[in-house]
Amino acid sequence: MGQYSGKTFEEYFGIRNDSLSVAHRVPKQKVQQLQTMTPTQRKWFDAIFPKGWSKQELIVQLEEVGSNVFAKEVRHLDFSMLDPYLSAREDGELIEVKGTIPVKGHWRKVRGYQGSGYYRFFWLFTNNNRTNACEIRVDESRHIRKVSAFDVVEMISRAILRLDPGRLQDLNRDDETIENELTNTDDKVFVYELLQNANDYPYGERGVNVEIRVDSDCLCFRHTGAAFSPQNVKAICSINAHDKSSNPNAIGYKGIGFKTVFRNNNRVFIRSGEFSFWFDEHKATRKRFGAPWRRIPLWDSAGSRINMEEYRVGFKLYTRNPEELLGESDRGYRSILRKMFGGCNEIFMQSQTVLAAENAEDAKLMPRSRPAAGL
């Protein structure tokens, strides 16, 4: 293979390294195009793709509006945003793009298109836009593949498990520091975080019903707010991601706040919409020693682990110390719930929900339109 910017094509385009895509040869026509990059395109290329990442594929969110198909956002193969998206002027200056991501293509005609959703696609430069020298388009000679909920979980976990040991150690240290700082002063923080997330994502115009229940083996939390989106899953696997796409006023599913659920729990199961996955310390570290397990979702096809009924989001928190935290200890979950809700008939959560809780072991949040009642 020839040389490009001091690297072989295998090294530069992630063909035989620890990239996020399956190793394969670069098509001849693609090699030819990449060899003829302009200096501006090379500058854009280096800015967009971190070293060692696959350079041939991206993920795009497509949305049908009438007879048109729009590309709403573009992501890397670990499902992180291509943010900021950079446009290149003729003078070579890179500028941030606001609004719709400019990925061109006759999406309806591309093999594999199945309507709105996320897709993996191969890209090429258009080389015909005078105002954006680095405009890209879908390679219509290749299939695009719709991304499933399973794919999202696998992409996120695979990307983290392939990091070098030093980076894994840094992520673990960051998670432990955040977890300790947020929970050292208040053992109720994780409950507030779960309630806040439910409050931020109502389903339609109705309020959010929330159930908190202490079972014999775990704490179960369910609510009727909006089901998880791929953006939500990515956000809770990070510490700086914040999904504001559907609700700009929401505090939202933030990675930092969500880390509080791991303070006393080393197994957390989540079921919502098409998603069903675990954060599991033992399983994650068996896959890779020293893995930052709080960031690694592990797919589980047995969604029946939570009976959803009318609920759209469900969590099960399995503690490291079930005898103490699931029993009648002062540090137990029943005691925590009594401190928060015991003796209160109504507690308002901003504008979306009302808490009705006389029985602290079966606390429920009800819409404001419904009368509060002890449950």
Given a cut of 90, whether residue 88 has pLDDT beyond it is: no
Given a cut of 80, whether residue 326 has pLDDT beyond it is: yes
Quote the pLDDT of residue 34: 57
Q: What value does the mean pLDDT take over residues 290-315? A: 87
Helices (H) and strands (E) counted in the chain, each on its own, are: 11, 19
Given a cut of 80, whether residue 32 has pLDDT beyond it is: no
Spatial contact of 13 and 34, defined as CB atoms under 8 Å apart: yes
Query: Given phi > 0 = left and psi -120 to 50 = alpha, else beta, which region is 142?
Result: beta
Quote the pLDDT of residue 188: 84
Q: What value does the mean pLDDT take over residues 31-40? A: 68
C-alpha dihedral (329, 332, 333, 336), degrees to nearest 10: 80
Spatial contact of 297 and 237, defined as CB atoms under 8 Å apart: yes
Distance CA 7, CA 238 (A): 31
Q: What value does the mean pLDDT take over residues 340-366? A: 49
Indicate the angle between helix axes 333-341 and 189-200, nearest 10 degrees.
Answer: 60
Q: What value does the mean pLDDT take over residues 97-114? A: 82
Spatial contact of 292 and 208, defined as CB atoms under 8 Å apart: no
Comparison of pLDDT for 105 and 252, the residue scoring more: 105
Place of tokens 């959803």: 308
Distance CA 204, CA 189 (A): 27
Distance, CA of 65 to chain centre: 25
From start to end of 191-244, where are the E strands?
A: 210-214, 219-223
Given a cut of 90, whether residue 21 has pLDDT beyond it is: no
Closest CA to 46 of 108, 104, 88, 101: 88
Spatial contact of 355 and 341, defined as CB atoms under 8 Å apart: yes
Quote the pLDDT of residue 113: 94
Closest CA to 325 of 339, 341, 336: 336
Distance CA 89, CA 130 (A): 8
Given a cut of 60, whether residue 245 has pLDDT beyond it is: no
Per DSSP, the three-state class of 75 is strand
- pLDDT confidence tier of residue 58, bands split at 50, 70 and 90: very high
Amino acid symbol at 178: I
Place of tokens 């945003």: 81
Kindly report which listed range (161-175, 249-263, 309-323) carries the lowest average pLDDT score: 249-263
Closest CA to 333 of 235, 188, 224, 197: 188
Query: Which two tokens mark 93?
Result: 């200056």
Spatial contact of 264 and 320, defined as CB atoms under 8 Å apart: yes
| Cβ count near 115 (within 10 Å) | 11
| pTM listed for this prediction | 0.79
Fold of 174-367: Heat Shock Protein 90 (3.30.565)
Q: What value does the mean pLDDT take over residues 56-62? A: 90
Given a cut of 80, whether residue 342 has pLDDT beyond it is: no
Given a cut of 80, whether residue 211 has pLDDT beyond it is: yes
Distance CA 169, CA 115 (A): 41
Quote the pLDDT of residue 20: 35
Kindly report which listed range (110-114, 191-195, 216-220, 357-361) carries the lowest average pLDDT score: 357-361
Q: Which residues lie below 8 Å from residue 251, measured CB to CB, with a gap of 6+?
A: 196, 197, 200, 257
How confident is the model over 121-140, as pLDDT tens digits? 999 888 888 788 888 899 99
| Cβ count near 108 (within 10 Å) | 12
How confident is the model over 221-231, as pLDDT tens digits? 999 999 999 99
Kindly report which listed range (95-104, 117-126, 151-160, 338-347) carries the lowest average pLDDT score: 338-347
Closest CA to 273 of 203, 216, 177, 331: 203
Per DSSP, the three-state class of 60 is strand
Given a cut of 70, whether residue 9 has pLDDT beyond it is: no
Spatial contact of 326 and 352, defined as CB atoms under 8 Å apart: no
Quote the pLDDT of residue 236: 92
Listed by start position, the domains of the chain span 3-147, 174-367
